[in-house]
Structure 1
Amino acid sequence: MTYQLSTLQNGLRVASEHLPGMESIAIAMSVDVGARHEEEAEGGLSHLLEHMAFKGTSTRSARDIAESFDAIGGQFNAYTSLEHTVYYAKVLKEHLPLAVDILSDILLHSVFDPQELKREQGVVLQEIASHFDAPDDLIFDLLDRTAFPDQPLGRSILSTPERIMSHTREALVTYMEKHYAAPRMVLSAAGNVKHEMLLDLAERYLAPLSPGVPRPPVVPGRYVGGDDREADDLEQLHLLLGLPALSAHDDDYYALQLYSSILGGGMSSRLFQEIREKRGLAYHVSSMTAAYADCGMMNVYCATGENEAAELPMLLADEIKRMAGGVTEAELSRVRNQQKAELLMARENPGRVAGWIGRHLLVFERYKPLKEIIANIEAVTHDDMRRVGALLLEGMPTLAALGPIGKLPPHEAVAGRLLA
C-alpha cells in the first residue's frame, strides 16, 4: 500500500493510496467549505451548491452526467457537512479518466441554470420536509442550536425553506468563487490507482481551478449548553444529552473516542447494558462524538416511552458521572480492539480511504497513516480516560428532547445530577 501526494501549481493537492487486489478506484474531491462557513444570509448555500453541481455544465446536461456514470457501472454522489463538502465516485480502474473528467467538469463548468435551480430548490424543500418527519434526525438540530446558539455550528446544514427559496443563481456563483479555491481542495483516490495517472488527469482537467483569494476566518465554535424541548405527538420521546468535549486536534482525541465507545458504543457498552438489558427502558441507546476543527461534543442518544421519561435522563446522568471515576482494564482493552478492527475493516473499502485522505489533508494538513492511528489508540491510558471523564463534566450539559415531554425532569435536575 503506497500513499503519494503532489501539489499542482494552483495549490490543488492530489493524493492517492494504492490498495492491492482491487479492480476499482474511488475518488473524492473534498472542499474546505461547509455550513459553518456560511454567513446567516448564506444559510443552506453549501448544501444547495452541492445539489446543483450535478444539474448540468456547459457541455453536459444533468441527464448526460447521470447516464455517463450508469453506462460504465459507476457510482457518484456528494454530501455536505458542517465543515466540508465532498464529491465522490467509484468506478472500475479503466474508467478513472472519465470520472475525473466529469467531476472536474461540474466543478469548473456548472451553468446553474435558473430553471434547474428552481426545480432543485423544490427538491431541497422536500429533503427538509423529510428531515422534519424523522425525529431521530431532527433532534440533532435541537441539540446543535442549543449547544452552539447564535453561531454557524448551531445552524442546520439544510437551512430553512424560506432561506433556500431566497437564493439566486448569482448567490451560488458568488459563493462558489468565494470558497472553491484550489488550495482549499483535495483530489484523492484509493484502490487500483497509479498516482502518475491521477496526477496527469488532475493537471489536464483541474489546472484551471482558481488559486482563490483569502476569505474571512471561520467563526470560532463556542459551546454554551442549555435546554431545548419540543412537544410533539410521537409514540416515543427522543432525547439527546450533549457534553462539551474536544476538537479533532486535541491530544486526547483518541481517548475520547475510546471513552465514548465504553459508554455507549455497542451491545456491551455501559449504557446498553444498564438502560436496555438491565432495565428495559429503551430500545436504542448510544453515544457518539462530534469533533470539529476547534471544539467538540460527546452526545448520548436514546428513544423511550412517555412513562420512562422521568427516570431515563437521570439514569444517563448517573452512568456518565460514575464512569468519570475510571474504567476497567477489560473495558479499555475491548474498545481498543473494537476501534482497531473497525479501522482495518474500513480500510478494505476504497471509498472510505479516499474520504479519509481528503479529510486528513484539509483538517491536519497531512494524511495520518493507519499505523500511527492504531499506535495512538493503543497508547491511551487510564489516566487519559479519567482526564477525559473530568473534562466532560466541566461545562453545562445540553438537553434536547422531542416528543411527549410532559414527564421529563427539568434541565436543572439533570445538570445537578451530573455536576454535583
Structure 2
Amino acid sequence: MNVKISRLSNGLIVATDPMSQLESAAVGVWVSAGARHETKPIMGVSHMLEHMAFKGTRRRTARSIAEEIEAVGGFLNAYTSREQTAFHARVLRSDVPLAVDILADILTEPGFAKEELERERQVVLQEIGQAKDTPDDIIFDYLQAVAYPDQPMGWPILGTEETVSGFAQQHLRAYMAANYRSGSMVLIGSGAVDHDMLVRLAEEKFAALPNGTATPPEPSHYMGGELHEGGDLEQCHIAYAFPGVSTVHPDYLLSQVYATALGGGMSSRLFQEVREKRGLCYSIYAFAQAAKDDGILGVYTGTGENEAAEIGAIVAGEMASLAETASDAEVARAKAQLKSSLLMGLERPATRSELIAGHIFNYDRVLTVEEMTENLEAIDTAQVRRFAQNVMETANPAVATVGPAGKLERYGIFAGRFGGKPAVRAAE
C-alpha cells in the first residue's frame, strides 16, 4: 500500500491508494457515524439515511442515479455499521469523476422526497421482517442487546418497526446535519486513481459540506445476561459473548488470534471438538468484534434441541483448555490464517479502501502492511494463554438464543464456569 492523505480546508480527508495494475477504481465516502450515534426515538435512522441517499437529489432522480452509474458499467452501494456509514462506487479509471460527482450529490444535496421516504420505509420494514425470519442473522442483534442493554451499542442497526414507521423528513435532515460533517468524513480512492485529481474533485464537489465533526456517541458499557427468543424452529441458535477489547486497545490483534485459535477454522478447537469429534452441530465459530471504546468475544453455533444441552459445558471447557494448553502450533496456524486473510483482502481495492477508513478513524493514520504483519507475528503463545485466562475471569457472560432452548444449560450454571457472580436475568 502506498497511501497518500490530504486534508482539505474544510476538514474533509482525501486518501488514495493507487494500484497501477488495475483499470478500475473503488471510490467511496466513509462517515464516522452509525447506529450508535442515534437516540432511542430515531433508532435505525442511520440505516434509513443510507437507503434514502440513493432515492434522489436536487439534480438527480433515483432512476437517473442508477442509470448514470450503470451506463458506464459501474455500480453503487452502501452499508451501515454501529460506528460508520459508507457510500461507495466501483468504476473504470475514466469514470472516477462521475463516481465522485454522484457521491457528492447524494451526500450534499439529498432530496428526501416524501413519496420516496414512504416507499423506502416499506422496504426497510420488509428488511426487518426478513432479518427476523433468519435466525442465524437476528441472533446477533439479540446478543448485542443483552451484552449492551439499554444502550445505543445494543440497539439493532435496522431499528424497529415502531421507530422506522415514525421517521419523517426532518429526522433524516437533523441527523445528517449533526453527523455528516466534513471533519468526520473521508473520501477514499483505491485502484486506478490519481491523488491530485481526487483532491481537486473533492475540493469542487464537497465544498458544501458543513464544517465540524459528528456528535460523539454515548460510551458503551458491557453488561451481560441472557435473552431467549422462542419460535417454531428445528435448530436452536446459540450465541455467547464475553467482554473483549476495543480497536485501539494494545490487545486488539491478540483478541483476533485468540478467537481464531478458539473457533476460527476447521482446525480450531471448537470446530474439532463440537463438530468433528462429537457431531453436535453443522456450524460453530468464534469471533472478536470491536468498537473504538469496547469489544466482545463471541461464539455462535446452531444445533438441535437435545444437543444444545451439551454446548455450554463444551464451549466453556474449550475456552478454559485454551487458557492452559494453547500450543505454539495452533497459535502459528491462527496467525497464518489472519495474515493470509489480510494479504488476500489487499488484492481487492474495495477492501483496501475500507481498511484505510478504519485506520484513519481509529488511529488517525494508516498502518503499513509491514506494521500490521509484524505486530501479528510478534504475538506468542504465552500472550494467547494470558489473554484466554483473562476471558475466563469474566463475571457476566452474555447468552442469546433463538429457537428451542429448553434443554440449554441454565445461565447460572454456565456463568458459574467463569469468574465472578452471574448477571441478573435479562429476559425469558
**TM-score, length-normalised on structure 2?**
0.96
Q: Within 5 Å, which residues of 2 pair with 1:309-328?
A: 309-328=308-327
Structure 2 unaligned residues grouped into runs of 5+: 421-428
Q: Can you list the C-alpha shifts for 1:25-57, whole angstroms capped at 9, x where unaligned? A: 001200011111101112111000110000001
Distance in 2, Cα, partners of 1:329 & 1:382: 6
Distance in 1, Cα, partners of 2:114 & 2:144: 33
Conserved 8 A contact 1:178-1:212: no
Letter matched to residue 14 of structure 1: V
Letter matched to residue 386 of structure 2: R
- Aligned-residue identity in percent: 45
Instruction: Indicate yes or no: 2:86 matched with 1:89.
Output: no
Letter matched to residue 319 of structure 1: E
Conserved 8 A contact 1:8-1:207: no
Distance in 1, Cα, partners of 2:169 & 2:296: 36
| 1:232 shift after superposition | 1.3
Q: Can you list the C-alpha shifts for 1:362-393, whole angstroms capped at 9, x where unaligned? A: 12211111111101100112232122112212
**Aligned pair in 2 of structure 1 residues 22, 214: CA closer, same or farther (>3 Å)?**
closer
Distance in 1, Cα, partners of 2:26 & 2:203: 19
Distance in 1, Cα, partners of 2:392 & 2:80: 31
Letter matched to residue 128 of structure 2: I
Q: Within 5 Å, which residues of 2 pair with 1:356-395?
A: 356-395=355-394
Letter matched to residue 384 of structure 1: Q
Question: Secondary structure in 2 aligned to 1:366?
Answer: coil
Letter matched to residue 142 of structure 1: Y
| 1:327 shift after superposition | 1.1
Conserved 8 A contact 2:80-2:86: yes
Aligned to 2:237: 238
Conserved 8 A contact 2:74-2:90: yes
Question: Secondary structure in 2 aligned to 1:310?
Answer: helix
Distance in 2, Cα, partners of 1:299 & 1:31: 27
Q: Can you list the C-alpha shifts for 1:44-97, whole angstroms capped at 9, x where unaligned? A: 110001100000011100000001111111021000000100001111111000
Structure 1 runs (4+) greater than 6 angstroms displaced: none
- Cα RMSD of the aligned pairs, angstroms, is 1.1
Conserved 8 A contact 2:104-2:206: yes
Distance in 2, Cα, partners of 1:327 & 1:392: 14
Structure 1 unaligned residues grouped into runs of 5+: none
Question: Secondary structure in 2 aligned to 1:324?
Answer: helix
| 1:338 shift after superposition | 1.2
Letter matched to residue 357 of structure 2: G
Q: Within 5 Å, which residues of 2 pair with 1:263-274?
A: 263-274=262-273
**TM-score, length-normalised on structure 1?**
0.98
Conserved 8 A contact 1:326-1:382: no
Aligned to 1:180: 180
Aligned to 1:45: 45
Aligned to 1:105: 105
Aligned to 1:399: 399
| 1:357 shift after superposition | 1.0
Aligned to 1:258: 257
Distance in 1, Cα, partners of 2:290 & 2:164: 27
Question: Secondary structure in 2 aligned to 1:17?
Answer: strand
Question: Secondary structure in 2 aligned to 1:312?
Answer: helix
Aligned to 1:162: 162
Q: Can you list the C-alpha shifts for 1:256-288, whole angstroms capped at 9, x where unaligned? A: 101100100001111110000000000000011
Aligned to 1:14: 14
Conserved 8 A contact 2:183-2:213: no
Letter matched to residue 243 of structure 1: F
Letter matched to residue 161 of structure 1: E
Q: Can you list the C-alpha shifts for 1:205-225, whole angstroms capped at 9, x where unaligned? A: 01221113673x321111111
Instruction: Indicate yes or no: 2:338 matched with 1:339.
Output: yes
Distance in 2, Cα, partners of 1:254 & 1:214: 27
Conserved 8 A contact 2:20-2:192: yes
Letter matched to residue 234 of structure 2: E
Distance in 2, Cα, partners of 1:69 & 1:142: 37
Conserved 8 A contact 1:114-1:169: yes
| 1:137 shift after superposition | 0.8
Conserved 8 A contact 2:286-2:299: yes
Letter matched to residue 350 of structure 1: P
Aligned to 1:121: 121
Question: Secondary structure in 2 aligned to 1:266?
Answer: coil
**Aligned pair in 2 of structure 1 residues 183, 151: CA closer, same or farther (>3 Å)?**
same
Q: Within 5 Å, which residues of 2 pair with 1:177-216?
A: 177-212=177-212, 215=215
Distance in 1, Cα, partners of 2:166 & 2:306: 43
Conserved 8 A contact 1:72-1:95: yes
| 1:394 shift after superposition | 2.8
Letter matched to residue 411 of structure 2: H
Give the count of matched residue pairs. Answer: 419
Distance in 1, Cα, partners of 2:385 & 2:178: 43
Q: Report the more deviating stretch, 231-240 or 359-368.
A: 359-368
Letter matched to residue 327 of structure 1: A
| 1:20 shift after superposition | 2.4
Conserved 8 A contact 1:226-1:398: yes
Distance in 2, Cα, partners of 1:404 & 1:272: 22
Aligned to 1:33: 33
| 1:326 shift after superposition | 4.0
Conserved 8 A contact 2:259-2:287: yes
Question: Secondary structure in 2 aligned to 1:256?
Answer: helix
Distance in 2, Cα, partners of 1:390 & 1:218: 31
Aligned to 2:424: none
